A and B are shown apart, each in its own frame.
Chain A
Amino acid sequence: MQDELRADGFETFQVIAVAIDGNVDAIRSFAADVSFPVLIDAGHLLTELYAVSNVPTVLLIDEDDRIAMPNWSAYGTDTFSEFTGVSADRQHDRIRRWVREGDAGISEDEARAAVGDLTADEEAARLHFRLAVALQERQDADGAERHFVRAASLAPHDWTIRRAMMPLRGEDPFGQGFFDLYQEWLDDGSPYHGLSGY
């Protein structure tokens, strides 16, 4: 999309990808041959600064550093649209319209109301997650596990905590644990810090 819009004369359109993930090799294979910067956020800074609770999430940020579209559940392809009822095409059309015409399709009031602030527990969960990652790097598996458990109990519906820790704890993030987590999240009303089904 960046190449297409730039070819159309919108040369100042810039995609910036941020991997909420410390697995650099996996990210590198995802991001082979892309023409935009790919950042590695192993410590989950972005999820703290922008109250992101799941990925993929996109944000639109304008020339004046204003958030034109806050956390917006993203659909790179239509793989998940059966689940969500939202097509990737519709989202891509909205992004194109914003780049071309400056209309993100959402009022400032809606944008302001879209993302609830992190709770104190969700904030603390991010710090526990960060400590767990740091302790893993020190080969302190018990210490890391203590903080992973604490993070999960403080932010049970946050995918950037619960699912992100699965591979770090030797669990398959696409296995049964994921489906159990998905059901748990649905049962609790699909909480998300941002716009989904939009």
Chain B
Amino acid sequence: MLERVLGWTLKPEGLCRDEVCVLVPDRLRLETENGIDLEVFGELVDRPVMVDREAGLTAVGAPREQRRAALRDLQAPDFALPDLDGGVTALSDHRSKKRLLVAFSSW
């Protein structure tokens, strides 16, 4: 689950994704008998996590650093979302273009 959904793998050296590994000082907190504790995972990789135990549902937010880089360095974070044509469109599908991003809604 950790690897398939969130892209991180727990290795002997820590939590790893691509070339980056995050050290895990207290493995017993992360690896519980019920599996990975996502709240501890969120702390380690700086992503907000909200667990609804009653519903058995967890929301994991985007890495905070992505947003902070956008605000601080004006570096646009990439994203990919379903489009009206039934496909998926990413900001990076239109790289090397001047882009006007419009957030709108029906409400």
Contact = CB atoms under 8 A, between A and B. Distances in A.
A123 B71 contact: no
B59 to A, nearest CB: 4
Contacts, number: 197
A49 interface: yes
Secondary structure of the A side of the interface? mixed
A150 to B, nearest CB: 9
A112 B100 CA distance: 18
Interface in A94-136: 95, 98-99, 108, 111-112, 115-118, 120, 123-124, 126-128, 130-131, 134-135
A24 to B, nearest CB: 7
A196 to B, nearest CB: 14
Contacts of B67: 48-51, 117-118
B71 A48 contact: no
**Chain B: interface size category:** 35 or more
Given A118-B67, A127-B61, A134-B57, A18 B102 contact: yes
Given A38-B84, A135-B55, A49 B66 contact: yes
Given A51-B67, A67-B70, A67-B74, A28 B84 contact: yes
Interface of B: 48-50, 52, 54-55, 57, 59, 61-62, 64, 66-68, 70-72, 74-79, 81-85, 89, 91, 94-107
